[in-house]
Structure 1
Amino acid sequence: MDITLKQMQIFRAVVIAGSITKASRRVGLSQPSISQQLAKLEERLGTQLINRNRTGTVSLTPSGEYWFKFSDEVLRKFDQAIDEHEKRYVDNRVFLRIGLSPTLRGRFLSAAARIASDEQGFAKFEVSYATTSSELVEQLRLHQLNCVIVNDEALAEDRSSFATALLFRDPMVLLVPADLPGGMLEKALTKGVKASQLDASLTRYVEISANVPMRPVSDAWYRSNLPYATPAFSAMTYVAATDIVAEGLATTHVPLSLLPSLPNSVRARLRVYTLSGMDRSIVLAMPKHLMTLPGYANIFKRLTDFCRHEYAQNVPADSVLELPTPERARLEKELVGGRVAAGVQQNFQ
């Protein structure tokens, strides 16, 4: 029995996904079918390639390490050959399969679709969403996507395989209901304040998915700054978390890049505050071999230019407020009081 490309594709998918269960969703095959193909491959090679753990995760044996690297290289070259064949002997059609987080819906998505459709040879634009950048990079490695917008950290192990461009720095911000009484947030940030003294929305927050890298940082911020707030709500996406805050029920953390895509009806019900030390780099990534094809190279450049010069600048500076602190509030109060006193004194002279 010969080793087939399908067996190598399945083997690589299992390794990248980390389990047969996750790989099943990625390649569209049942778990028994995947296990059967892996068994045939191991039988043909006369060696065990993966260790199947009780938790369902897999790890590579020494021979598995060798065959994973070999399979990944063969499949990558095969995809490159297909692309080169279409370039030379078929036509210059562009099939853009882009992966995004739900944060970049709306204005960004419509701009990406327009940029792709403007390209000569445009054939199809497909968009896929995932809740984390790691999921998108996994699909990029499996060649299910050929373009992704992700957190830079998710590319750490694969950077050499892709062409990348830094699009913008994406700081996390604090969302609170727009109708929160004035001075209430400053009061909430004061040490020793009691939860009973605060608006109910400040005693609850929306925790983001545990799969999101910023989750531990977000939880730590709440423990340090709003220790009485409890994670009364949980959301898989930042968009869902935003909707809960807009209803006046809680607070949450979201990336600033979400704001340009929010409907005005939602944006009007939010107040946005800056946070220090909580940001991430957002990058565009494509397989390097696609950069030799003019259509994909042009899309790469135009998406980069759009993000750097239009999308990232689409949040009005005056719509994001500086996070108040009790100390700043006290100084401002003293400054105003001093001016009033000076004015009163001047009036009596």
Structure 2
Amino acid sequence: MTFRRLQVFWSVAHSTSLTQASKQLGLAQPSVSQQIATLEDIVGSSLFDRRSNTLELTEAGRHLLRHVEKVLESMQALEDGVAEIGDGSRQTVHLAGLNSILRVILPPAMEALHEEFPRVDYDIHESSPAEVLEMLYARRINLGLISSNSIAPASAGFQQVPICVDPYVLAVPRDLDLADVADPRTDLSPEAREVLMRSIQFAFGTQHSKRVQAWYDKVVPGNWPFAQARSFEVALGMVRSGLGVCLAPAMSCVVGGTAIQGVRLYRVDFPARDVVALLPKTYLRTDPYASLIEHLKVAGAHFAPPGLLDTPPFLDTPAAAD
């Protein structure tokens, strides 16, 4: 079942006669008839009812035609795409990054880049920092958007471009108001204090987990590492349900430019994560990547975490809780 035979079949199916199809294809009529006969032998069924000078599709022919049209459309799209890439009118940006960065920083940069390069399209992967590095080394992507805190200081062969600083916040259920809490033991009800003492943590890596747990131990001594999640989005969903509290990057708490509903976000004293673009040095001078990097910097500079509340008193001066 060759591509040429499918083209011949499609032409015959859309013609009133073999004579008309032969003229459109630039083939002799016996050759067209032979192609159709061979295709019928391959599929094991008649594709046309032959009535005097006309051809009508059989049920098998109609079934085959539906699939043939999809094949021909895909082949045309492939040819057009290759031609556009070949003449430089179309390019694909291959990138990967953390969910929150892809949701918050990337879209405005893409919108700005579209004004300069309207024929650029994107192949985007939501990935962990380790996966991003792996894909960069394997040349499956050319750009990674991650936190520099999550990778080794020296990533051989790749350039780190600072994009923005993303502060950490303490996300708590909407019903848990910590604004005037100086000592959780006395200023919170037993039920509210129980929620505060349950930490929902992002399983990121040994060193990061130790830093997070050390922070919890300092500000809420006796806290219970209630759950570990593989993404901040899952952890924040648990917070919204009232299961506990979560120390998270502010960017992960943003949906559509606004803070997620159902939680309170408090400023905290915890080292912010540095969002960077990671790419081979040559791409810093190659468009569309060079322009995309500049637009990412602009988007990063305009990022302002929405809806952050002042640090609760007990986080400024941790109380000695049991």
Query: Which interval holds the TM-score relative to the shorter structure?
Result: 0.5 to 0.7
TM-fit CA distance, 1:245: 0.7
- The verdict on how the C-alpha distance between 1:237 and 1:296 changes in structure 2, with shifts beyond 3 A counting, is same
After superposing the two structures, state which structure 1 stretch, 196-205 or 146-155, moved more.
196-205
Mapped partners of 1:100, 1:109: distance in 2: 10
2:314 counterpart residue number? 325
**Number of aligned pairs?**
236
SS state of the match for residue 271, structure 1? strand
- The verdict on how the C-alpha distance between 1:206 and 1:295 changes in structure 2, with shifts beyond 3 A counting, is same
SS state of the match for residue 325, structure 1? helix
Please say if 1:186 is aligned against 2:175: no
8 Å contact from structure 1 (residues 163, 288) kept in 2: yes
Q: Relative contact order: is structure 1 or structure 2 higher (C-alpha 8 Å, sep ≥ 6)?
A: 2
2:278 counterpart residue number? 285
The correspondence for 2:134, drawn from 129, 138, 143, is: 138
Q: Residue by residue, what CA displacement relative to the aligned partner does 1:55-92 show, whole Å, maximum 9, x if unpaired?
A: xxxxxxxxxxxxxxxxxxxxxxxxxxxxxxx9x97526
Please say if 1:98 is aligned against 2:95: yes
Mapped partners of 2:189, 2:290: distance in 1: 55
Q: Residue by residue, what CA displacement relative to the aligned partner does 1:223-251 show, whole Å, maximum 9, x if unpaired?
A: 22223321222210011111111111100
Mapped partners of 2:123, 2:180: distance in 1: 45
Runs of 4+ in 1 over 4 A off after TM superposition: 181-185, 193-198, 326-330
Letter in 1 for 2:299: F
1:219 counterpart residue number? 213
Q: What does residue range 1-349 of structure 1 map to in structure 2 within 5 Å?
A: 90-91=87-88, 93-120=90-117, 122-130=119-127, 132-153=128-149, 154=151, 156-158=153-155, 161-181=157-177, 185-188=181-184, 196=190, 198-211=192-205, 214-261=208-255, 267-308=260-301, 310=302, 312-313=303-304, 315-316=305-306, 319-325=308-314
TM-fit CA distance, 1:255: 0.6
Q: CA RMSD in A?
A: 3.5
Mapped partners of 1:328, 1:215: distance in 2: 23
8 Å contact from structure 1 (residues 217, 278) kept in 2: no
TM-fit CA distance, 1:325: 2.0
TM-fit CA distance, 1:322: 1.4
2:24 counterpart residue number? none
Structure 2 unaligned residues grouped into runs of 5+: 1-82
SS state of the match for residue 103, structure 1? helix
State which structure, 1 or 2, has the greater radius of gyration over its C-alpha atoms: 2
Mapped partners of 1:111, 1:205: distance in 2: 33
Mapped partners of 1:327, 1:218: distance in 2: 17
Mapped partners of 1:169, 1:291: distance in 2: 21
8 Å contact from structure 1 (residues 171, 255) kept in 2: yes
- Give the share of equivalent positions with the same residue, in percent: 18
Letter in 2 for 1:227: P
1:6 counterpart residue number? none
Letter in 2 for 1:259: C
8 Å contact from structure 1 (residues 119, 299) kept in 2: no
Structure 1 unaligned residues grouped into runs of 5+: 1-85, 331-349
Q: Residue by residue, what CA displacement relative to the aligned partner does 1:112-159 show, whole Å, maximum 9, x if unpaired?
A: 4424444437342011112x3232122212211111111224152226
Higher helix share: 1
Letter in 2 for 1:157: A
Letter in 1 for 2:311: E
- The verdict on how the C-alpha distance between 1:183 and 1:258 changes in structure 2, with shifts beyond 3 A counting, is closer
SS state of the match for residue 221, structure 2? coil
- The verdict on how the C-alpha distance between 1:114 and 1:301 changes in structure 2, with shifts beyond 3 A counting, is same
SS state of the match for residue 283, structure 2? helix
1:52 counterpart residue number? none
Mapped partners of 2:93, 2:199: distance in 1: 38
Mapped partners of 1:212, 1:149: distance in 2: 21
Letter in 2 for 1:278: P
TM-fit CA distance, 1:200: 2.8
8 Å contact from structure 1 (residues 94, 296) kept in 2: no
Q: Residue by residue, what CA displacement relative to the aligned partner does 1:179-231 show, whole Å, maximum 9, x if unpaired?
A: 115568533278xx999575331121112114375322111112222233212
Mapped partners of 2:298, 2:315: distance in 1: 41
Letter in 1 for 2:107: S
Mapped partners of 1:304, 1:179: distance in 2: 36
TM-score by length of 2: 0.62
SS state of the match for residue 167, structure 2? strand
SS state of the match for residue 214, structure 1? helix
TM-score by length of 1: 0.58
8 Å contact from structure 1 (residues 273, 320) kept in 2: yes
